[in-house]
A and B are shown apart, each in its own frame.
Chain A
């Protein structure tokens, strides 16, 4: 009898399989909560009696197993490799394997040579992602699965990484979307991520095997995979050993290794193996209890006075902060004493929580206390305001500033780290001078700590306390939370304790805020009077890490987590009578939410219609007034994004005199050059098909052929446009390689970015169907009409019949005429918009980015949102010519970016003009432009606002940003 043992140690679980003559006699799957060695030891000890001292061969696998294998000098087999072996042995007719683990996703293709793929470093979160999302919905993973099976609709949720998805889910929750619909949407996001991130152009077909823990446990996820891939029942295989595939593979691999061990030997080797330390260690937060004592005492001074509500008689003011993950309430007296507070997770239903709380407050108030002012702030502001007739809805920045001033009148810097947001405001001359909010990519800081604590099996309070006296905090980096996940994995492998990880995470959160969001180089930049707040700062470890990193003491109010609500309450003191829902109305209050899709325009916003007991309705999720069912005032504010879309729509499909039809993908650089190429091919007599403006569906249509999951969303959408043109049976598709863009003499050069310039090369290599048509992507120089005509003539005459040099020259001339006319029209409309705004006293917003940001799927309708907030919206390419170009501090060598700098100068030259920069996630060039545009604006005392956009569909965060901008402008006046 031959025994072989396979141990698979992943990021979250340990799996052990013992085979006797390849038959499993022992299988175990358990979470290790980062105690890798202990858990392995425990499971092996449990298996020992079965072996009764017999020798066996062994192999270890898994991401956390690598370290242990090296240290204990045991054979290691890479987990994907192990899976391949087990599938080849057990399921020889499988054509593809999809395996989801705790934090890894893998696809193995067996058709046409083995091709194994793992998720890249940005695709963090599969099993762990599902866990995180379940936590967000306040259910466990089983419940999430059950919920998903009852779903009626799917919301688009960003699938790139967990942090993005959270940004999408949070507003849905706050708007009252049903948990079951969200559950299925989460699964759909996982499926999309796996396909887009890993299949990379290769079709998943034939007999597909689904492996790994999450796919074993989540029935809804399995169904979702099978449905999306269109697999028949016999071709979607979910084997019983799904959880143990890697461990089994390791056990099979063990046969090929040299030497055997007994269980006693194995255990002793694991126990005595010396842990190799590769994780970097940091200084402890506190030297000991004494230092911590001083620290506590110092911070306890920043306390607000309390008064017992049971004894108080008089007026009161209510502040509500309906945040992304928590709901906070504060009731204060006439002399600003706290009467009542509430702070808790909103459990996905903030309306219900606020109802409970107001009821509770009324009960406590009796007839003695009268609420004469109320205000609400935060993500759920509008919903709560409507539901309970709150007097004021105020933007978060104003609420927080109001509260911070209470504790430190001369405050000059406020940092707020909440569940999902980091907000920083710099205060100058008593007004908000600049606002920095975390980009979607690094959000989730507070909730990240909490989710992590839970995944390690302890409460956030306990987790934080244990970090305080960590001896050797681990350095986990300062990037996005997904990276931190991976770093934690590594630290665990290196034997870091829960204490060390807790302290390390606190330090990471702080560094992330300081260097990524605020972008400081030294503490001096923050000024002397710093107030820190937000629920995350209750965590003494985070507070201490912050003070240590800055090298200065800061003020943390004892109500750090209630500052929004407290500030709202203070704000509402300007009222003398409140219209807040009466106790009677509250008693019969009820609320239902229904999801639907707005048909008002092509944005197709996902709407949630909230209906209250008295029949009132509140609609959320809309970008413009139309969706909210509000009749517009008839005044249509200028919107250059909409104008350009309409202008481009004139270059539509065309029936030519030739038999061939050329497809033009309306994507990336085509947003700039469509008038040019459309006119050229029309003049040449070709038929033309132009792909439609993108929708979410466009992305899904093309996601199967995307090779790089970290490319920007505009690039990914290109795949959908190509797919659409192919569906339309075009004979050719044209998207040229343009190293150089048009030269507008604004910079030192006039490049395109590499993605815009060469995306066709990638398409040619990854979209198989392009081989069936003529894919035209010549390298062209568009700055010399004569040369261009020559090149196009040579290129086209090799591919089409009857191309005449004279016709090409004439067509090129016409093409440039059309392009110039287009550009002129855009600039003229820009001038008209500016004039209109001035004549009508409207503020102007330059919604600046790239030409392709006008695409409604890329820009997510932010232009309409800005209009609805009262701005006349112009684009960077419609106003850059109105300012004098000045030198900039970086190499100014890309056409699109030169316009951006020009537009920034225009903003600095005019008081009524604000610039908001749209930045696509993953845009490398914008890492350079954003700092420069910020510098240009701030040098002239202007506010800089940046909006990072990706697949994210929810506009809640964007709205807060734009409203903060309005608030800050008004404040400045």
Chain B
């Protein structure tokens, strides 16, 4: 059994403590954290980057641990030791998936690191679908989950549109500025409730405002999809600002949203019941309903995007689910599991054959679901132009960029053909 003696986050701590959260997805986390602040928590998003983060992480966790754990733990430890906070008045929050991947151990590695540094009294809260631990002062009920999911949908929308505008905007940086602004507006807007016509209006407004940015779309740029392990896929700190690099080098970034990952987690619960007979029937019915609700929401947002006539919506998740069958079984559910090849197949199917597949160096599931699927994907889509890039505390940026440049060189040829 695992040691169950962890420091709980109590109700009394809500008013006194500052909760620190690592930054993985700037837009998403800004919305979600604002939402926590509205509920009375004091929350700080850790945005520190630079080499010290990884170096601190390397001191506290086994150096062969996944890069995301090294970065996140490095960020936490640096924040605690920065002098900015009273270590006795901070708590850490981390989002993680359960399952057979070693990523499910991040929380325990973080606690070990805290212990090593003499901060074992700091509460660590893990947010997970599997509801791994109990904290009296930090509970997420169904309405809260619902609201959180709305926040994610808004953020996905903003992220997708801003990526579609970035390569074409006339004034550099305008799309990113709008995205920042909108994340604040959305957070404020959500105070007045989520869902319904109100949400639809807000979303339509978001699409309009991105469409209003002055753009030069006379030269088509190659679209490059980014897929991979969730942290290095999204976090600029984790992937050496891959998105920025691609845009600078004349590409448009296609970043499948966080909602896909959420849907994937929910879908796996359904699959777990059907395939492995785990969980009870009521839970099974509940997640089936949740899945349907989420899917219909994703589809209605897609319709809003397509209405614009300028922007493309990502393929709905049920298509992603179906296309996985071309090369992998959906029982393969550790880490990003089957979702990873499914997203690559889906990108290739819908005109984005250029793909960067990101993973932390030595990522176990990605041996199978990332690198192991390149060959079958290329058999289905001979024009697929995929490059796998490993991220690591010491991996050289030159090496990474050189490989991405190779992918881009070929991407440009695709466009000319």
- What residues of chain A have their CB less than 8 Å away from a CB belonging to chain B? 63-64, 66-67, 76-81, 112-116, 118, 120-122, 200-202, 278, 280, 475-479, 483-484, 486-487, 489-490, 493, 515-516, 519-521, 707-708, 710-711, 715, 737, 739-740, 746-749, 751-755, 757-759, 761-762, 764-766, 777, 779, 781, 784, 787, 885, 887-894, 922, 924-928, 930-931
Q: Within 8 Å CB of B112, what residues of A?
A: 889-890, 931
Interchain CB contact under 8 A, A710 and B100: no
What are the 5 A-B residue pairs with the smallest beta carbon separation, nearest first?
Answer: A477-B394, A779-B331, A486-B396, A762-B372, A751-B100
Interchain CB contact under 8 A, B362 and A922: yes
A600 to B270, CA, bound (A): 55
A280 to B397, CA, bound (A): 12
B335 close to chain A: CB less than 8 A:
yes
Known: A737-B332, A739-B331, A755-B368. Is A200-B374 also a contact (CB below 8 A)?
Answer: yes
Known: A516-B63, A521-B117, A739-B276. Is A486-B399 also a contact (CB below 8 A)?
Answer: yes
Q: Within 8 Å CB of B394, what residues of A?
A: 476-479, 483-484, 487
Q: Within 8 Å CB of B64, what residues of A?
A: 924, 926-927
Interchain CB contact under 8 A, A515 and B59: yes
Interchain CB contact under 8 A, A891 and B2: yes
Interchain CB contact under 8 A, A755 and B4: no
B66 close to chain A: CB less than 8 A:
yes
Q: Within 8 Å CB of B5, what residues of A?
A: 887
B9 close to chain A: CB less than 8 A:
no
Enumerate B357-404 residues with CB–CB distance to A below 8 Å.
Answer: 361-376, 378, 382-383, 388, 390, 392-403
Residue ID in chain B nearest A762 by CB atoms: B372
Interchain CB contact under 8 A, B410 and A707: no
Known: A889-B111, A930-B62. Is A925-B396 also a contact (CB below 8 A)?
Answer: no
- What residues of chain B have their CB less than 8 Å away from a CB belonging to chain A? 1-5, 50-51, 55, 58-60, 62-66, 99-102, 104-105, 107-109, 111-112, 116-117, 275-277, 327-329, 331-335, 361-376, 378, 382-383, 388, 390, 392-403, 405-406, 408-410
Nearest-CB distance from B283 to chain A (Å)? 17
A888 to B4, CA, bound (A): 9
Interchain CB contact under 8 A, A112 and B368: no
Interchain CB contact under 8 A, A889 and B108: yes
A885 to B100, CA, bound (A): 21
Q: Within 8 Å CB of B58, what residues of A?
A: 478, 515-516
Interchain CB contact under 8 A, B405 and A890: no
Known: A483-B395, A739-B276. Is A120-B388 also a contact (CB below 8 A)?
Answer: yes
Q: Within 8 Å CB of A893, what residues of B?
A: 2, 100, 104
Q: Once A and B bind, how many residue pairs between them come within 8 Å at the CB atom?
A: 236
Residue ID in chain A nearest B113 by CB atoms: A521
A79 to B405, CA, bound (A): 9
A520 to B62, CA, bound (A): 10
Interchain CB contact under 8 A, B100 and A739: yes
A202 to B59, CA, bound (A): 41
Residue ID in chain B nearest A439 by CB atoms: B64
Known: A924-B363, A927-B102. Is A121-B395 also a contact (CB below 8 A)?
Answer: yes
A707 to B375, CA, bound (A): 8
Interchain CB contact under 8 A, A63 and B100: no
A475 to B406, CA, bound (A): 27
Interchain CB contact under 8 A, A885 and B1: yes
Known: A66-B405, A755-B368. Is A928-B361 also a contact (CB below 8 A)?
Answer: no
A–B complex contacts, Cβ < 8 Å, 8 sampled: A122-B361, A280-B50, A478-B55, A519-B62, A521-B59, A761-B369, A765-B375, A890-B112
Interchain CB contact under 8 A, B2 and A765: no
Interchain CB contact under 8 A, A81 and B410: yes
Nearest-CB distance from B406 to chain A (Å)? 5
Interchain CB contact under 8 A, B105 and A890: yes
Nearest-CB distance from B291 to chain A (Å)? 19
Q: Within 8 Å CB of A477, what residues of B?
A: 393-394
Q: Which of A113, A200, A490 contacts B375 (CB 8 A)?
A: A200
Interchain CB contact under 8 A, A761 and B368: yes
A887 to B361, CA, bound (A): 30
A871 to B51, CA, bound (A): 46
Nearest-CB distance from B141 to chain A (Å)? 24
Q: Within 8 Å CB of A114, what residues of B?
A: 410
A516 to B64, CA, bound (A): 9
Nearest-CB distance from A715 to chain B (Å)? 7
Known: A891-B104, A922-B362, A931-B112. Is A761-B409 also a contact (CB below 8 A)?
Answer: no
Residue ID in chain B nearest A919 by CB atoms: B64
Known: A77-B409, A475-B51, A754-B368. Is A784-B277 also a contact (CB below 8 A)?
Answer: yes
Q: Which of B63, B100, B392 contacts A894 (CB 8 A)?
A: B100
Nearest-CB distance from A738 to chain B (Å)? 10
Interchain CB contact under 8 A, A278 and B105: no
Q: Which of A737, A759, A891, A928 contacts B62 (CB 8 A)?
A: A928
Interchain CB contact under 8 A, A928 and B327: no
Known: A754-B365, A765-B376. Is A521-B60 also a contact (CB below 8 A)?
Answer: yes
Nearest-CB distance from A263 to chain B (Å)? 26
Residue ID in chain B nearest A487 by CB atoms: B396
Interchain CB contact under 8 A, A754 and B367: yes
Nearest-CB distance from A771 to chain B (Å)? 11
Q: Within 8 Å CB of B50, what residues of A?
A: 280
Interchain CB contact under 8 A, A924 and B398: no
Interchain CB contact under 8 A, A781 and B277: yes
Task: Other than A476-B394, A887-B3, A928-B105, give 20 A-B pairs with Cβ distance below 8 A.
Answer: A78-B402, A200-B374, A475-B51, A483-B392, A483-B395, A490-B398, A708-B371, A710-B390, A715-B367, A747-B1, A748-B2, A751-B100, A755-B367, A758-B332, A761-B329, A766-B375, A781-B275, A887-B1, A889-B2, A928-B62
Most buried by A among B2, B372, B388, B405: B372
Q: Within 8 Å CB of A489, what residues of B?
A: 396, 398-399
Most buried by B among A711, A755, A894, A924: A924
Q: Within 8 Å CB of A748, what residues of B?
A: 1-2
A761 to B332, CA, bound (A): 8
Interchain CB contact under 8 A, B60 and A925: no
Q: Within 8 Å CB of A765, what residues of B?
A: 327-328, 372-373, 375-376
Interchain CB contact under 8 A, B396 and A924: no
A722 to B416, CA, bound (A): 42
Interchain CB contact under 8 A, A710 and B374: no
Interchain CB contact under 8 A, A81 and B406: yes
Interchain CB contact under 8 A, B397 and A116: no
Q: Within 8 Å CB of B406, what residues of A?
A: 78, 80-81, 116, 118
Known: A710-B367, A739-B100. Is A490-B397 also a contact (CB below 8 A)?
Answer: yes
Interchain CB contact under 8 A, B62 and A931: yes
Interchain CB contact under 8 A, A515 and B3: no
Interchain CB contact under 8 A, B362 and A924: yes
Q: Within 8 Å CB of A64, what residues of B?
A: 398
Residue ID in chain A nearest B112 by CB atoms: A889
A888 to B5, CA, bound (A): 10
Known: A121-B361, A486-B399. Is A113-B277 also a contact (CB below 8 A)?
Answer: no
Q: Within 8 Å CB of A515, what residues of B?
A: 58-59, 63
Q: Within 8 Å CB of A202, what residues of B?
A: 375
A947 to B328, CA, bound (A): 35
Q: Which of B277, B327, B367 contacts A711 (CB 8 A)?
A: B367
Q: Which of B4, B109, B329 contacts A779 (CB 8 A)?
A: B329
Known: A113-B382, A120-B388. Is A761-B367 also a contact (CB below 8 A)?
Answer: no
Q: Within 8 Å CB of A493, what residues of B?
A: 398
Q: Which of A116, A200, A753 contacts B100 (CB 8 A)?
A: A753
Nearest-CB distance from B282 to chain A (Å)? 20
Q: Within 8 Å CB of B109, what residues of A?
A: 890, 928
Q: Within 8 Å CB of A759, what residues of B?
A: 368
Q: Within 8 Å CB of A115, what residues of B?
A: 378
Residue ID in chain A nearest B58 by CB atoms: A515
Q: Which of B1, B327, B396, B409 contacts A490 (CB 8 A)?
A: B396
Interchain CB contact under 8 A, A758 and B401: no
